[in-house]
Every structure is written in C-alpha cells, then in structure tokens.
Amino acid sequence: MIAGVGSAFRLMGVINVTPDSFSDGGAFLDADAAIGQGRRLAAEGADLLDVGGESTRPGAAPVDAGEELRRVLPVIEALVSDGAATVSIDTSKLEVARAALDAGAGYVNDVTAFRAAPELAALVADRDVECCLMHMLGEPRTMQADPRYDDVVSEVKAFLAERLAFAVGEGVPEERISVDPGIGFGKTVAHNLELLRRLDELVELGRPIVIGTSRKSFLGRITGRDVTERMPATLATCVIGYLRGARTFRVHDVAPARDALLVTAATVTGRWSSTTTAS
C-alpha cells in the first residue's frame, strides 16, 4: 500500500466482471482483463478491490449464482494470491459470498444490507470479516422508478441504523461494519446532493461511511459529461464526502482519487507522509 493512504481514508477500487456495467461496458468481463485491472488499481493505492459479477445499474437483469461465481472466482483467487490489497466480494447472494470468502476474500459488500439473504450476516460473523451495508430503495430493476422520500437523509439514516442493529444481533462485531448511503440507488439528483451535503448526519451512526459516487449518472446530469468524462466530478464528490466525514471511497479511478484525498486529508489534519522528493 502506498504510504499515507490507509491512515486517513481507504480507497475501494471497482472491478466489474460483468457485460453490462454502466461505467465500463464489459471491459473486464474476461478474467485476465479483470485481474490486470485489479493489479493496476492495487498499484495505484487501492486498499480494497471490490469484485462484482452482477451489475446493479438501474434496470439491470439478475444473474444466477452459478454464473456470478464463474465470473468472479478466478479474479478473486488471483488477486488474493497477489496479496497487494484486501479483496472484497460485491454480492447479495449467500452462496457467492461463501465461495468468495473460501477463496480468500476479506470483505463483503452487500447492496441489500443483508435483506436479500439474511443468512449472510451469520456468515460474515462466523468468518470474522468486514462488511458494508448499503441503502437501496427497491431493487436495481425498479429503484429509479420515481423514488420519493419525505426526508432522504433521515430515512436513509433510520434504515442503516436498523440494518446495523440486525447485523450486530446476528453476531457481526460493530467494529467490522461500514455503512453506505447508496448514492444513485433509488435516488434523484436532488436526493444524492442532499445526502452528500448532510453526510455528517450519517456519521452520527458511529460507523465508517462508504460512498460510491464514481462516474454516476447524476454527475452527468449536472455536468453534461459522458460516463467516460466524469472523473473530475467524481473527485469533487470525494473531497466533499471526506469533508463531511466519509472515510472509504469506492472509485474506478484510484490514482486521481488518492491524490485528491491525500491533499484534502493533509489540509484538514495537518499531517501527511512524503511519498516523493518533489517540491
């Protein structure tokens, strides 16, 4: 890991082993391509490598467990063998999570917060690994169909508090749980911005906050940029997120996010680790 990164924040590099991801259009469906991408992200400073075999973009079709495993296991095995970063499995299926943990993954990222497979909580507890519980309104196929809230921040906070209590009740140590407000998962542009603006209210839950804004469509709505041109907008949300209390950032572009957050963290804390001799 590059010096200075882990102490102030963590970077979760995205590896979509899918044919229909909104962000990379199946560029890493081939296992070798996905492994190569994971190694690049680790070299750029990723602390976590989040491997997913089922797209969760709006309107995405479901994938059965067998196909999901076929996609992700060779990638997980190779990246675990490298040992350069903790491997995360991005899944809501018990069977997939169990096989990934058997292969050496050390983190479970569940966009359903253990609602799709409640038994996942006991598995996480038994394996003593970290997990992330995310808020999503509905499911990927329907989540962007007119999402409504009375107060999006209060409702997301209440949901995450309830899921946190469930996970702890199933034996997951609280210190191994992070929470994610689910930017873009059943939210309008206004909802996403409100969550970012009031992220500090979610910090009151007492658990590390994960945000995943990378290349998302609300950034395109604001900037007019195509998905391939949203990296600067993503960096802006990472900086805002850090200033509001987020500490894990799920991104496609690790190196620029790392640089933006290193400078932000150094400015806020007054501490940094020199990584070059440049002046």
Which residue in 98, 230, 250, 258 is the catalytic one?
250
Round to whole Å and give the CA distance between 158 and 181: 11
Q: Which among 88, 90, 79, 98 has a CA at the least distance from the CA of 53? A: 90
Maximum distance among all alpha carbons in the chain?
52
Find where tokens 């990927």 sit. Answer: 140
Q: Cα-flanking dihedrals φ and ψ of residue 236, to 5°?
A: -60, -45
Round to whole Å and give the CA distance between 32 and 106: 21
Residue type, 71: R
DSSP 179-224: EE--TTSS--HHHHHHHHHTHHHHHTTSSPBEE--TT-HHHHHHH-
Q: Which among 79, 105, 111, 70 has a CA at the least distance from the CA of 93? A: 111
Q: Which among 27, 21, 16 has a CA at the least distance from the CA of 75? A: 16
Question: Is 216 labeled as catalytic in the residue annotation?
Answer: yes
Which residue in 57, 163, 215, 216 is the catalytic one?
216
Round to whole Å and give the CA distance between 180 and 170: 19
Question: Is 250 labeled as catalytic in the residue annotation?
Answer: yes
Q: Which residues are catalytic?
A: 216, 250
